A and B are shown apart, each in its own frame.
Chain A
Amino acid sequence: QQQVKQSPQSLIVQKGGISIINCAYENTAFDYFPWYQQFPGKGPALLIAIRPDVSEKKEGRFTISFNKSAKQFSLHIMDSQPGDSATYFCAASRDAGNMLTFGGGTRLMVKP
């Protein structure tokens, strides 16, 4: 199975709050887990990515938490801002340069 399941489908957060998006995968051969941010009319842009040899990676306000045994990973956006309002996709791939399998996306709205 190559599926990646993402939740929630939509999320509304107040400015300054924490946004949390979760993903679960089935294929244990996946070894690269990126998160993409997509604004309307634009292509996905890489936000942050993690390999399964670490359980957490932080870049600025964005943190990925990874649970290999549960086959789950999540994106946390701290101090959420209205400019973070976008659609977020988790993805996974097996080996470098291989196809990405995307989750269904989460539409985030950060209210001022």
Chain B
Amino acid sequence: ETGVTQSPTHLIKTRGQQVTLRCSSQSGHNTVSWYQQALGQGPQFIFQYYREEENGRGNFPPRFSGLQFPNYSSELNVNALELDDSALYLCASSLQGGYGYTFGSGTRLTVV
């Protein structure tokens, strides 16, 4: 049974650019959630995908968008990057209707 894998592990982007982060969910999981973790803080919920549709969103602007694919993998896209977008982005998979998430190791995004 494989866990949640994310790519890339580290990324440096310039303010105003766009970025795509990728996530492969744990085998058997059909729901993917994305979280943003700023340095020294707890993760903040961005959104969740189930059956390739967004079914929950936190307090993040529309320039944060996502996709879920038929194999349950997912992408997080961020447009018009801002310096405050610098953070660890965590993907978590779960089984719809079940408790408990499995988190990946995250992608460390630095915006300069």
Indicate whether B103 reaches chain A with its CB closer than 8 angstroms. Answer: yes
Interface size on B, residues (CB 8 A): 28
Task: Mark A residues whose CB is within 8 Å of B.
Answer: 6, 32, 34, 36, 41-46, 49, 89, 91, 93, 96-105
Whether A89 contacts B99 by the Cβ 8 Å rule is no
**Nearest opposing residue in chain B for A46, CB measure:** B100
Q: Given contacts A43-B103, A43-B104, A46-B101, is CB(A97)–CB(B31) below 8 Å?
A: yes
Indicate whether B110 reaches chain A with its CB closer than 8 angstroms. Answer: no
**Nearest opposing residue in chain B for A102, CB measure:** B42
Our pick among A43, A45, A96 for the contact of B99 (Cβ within 8 Å) is A96
Our pick among B43, B102, B104 for the contact of A102 (Cβ within 8 Å) is B43
Q: Given contacts A44-B103, A89-B42, A105-B42, is CB(A98)–CB(B56) below 8 Å?
A: yes
By a CB distance below 8 angstroms, the chain B residues around A93 are: 99
By a CB distance below 8 angstroms, the chain B residues around A101 are: 45
- Minimum CB–CB distance for A11 against chain B, Å: 15
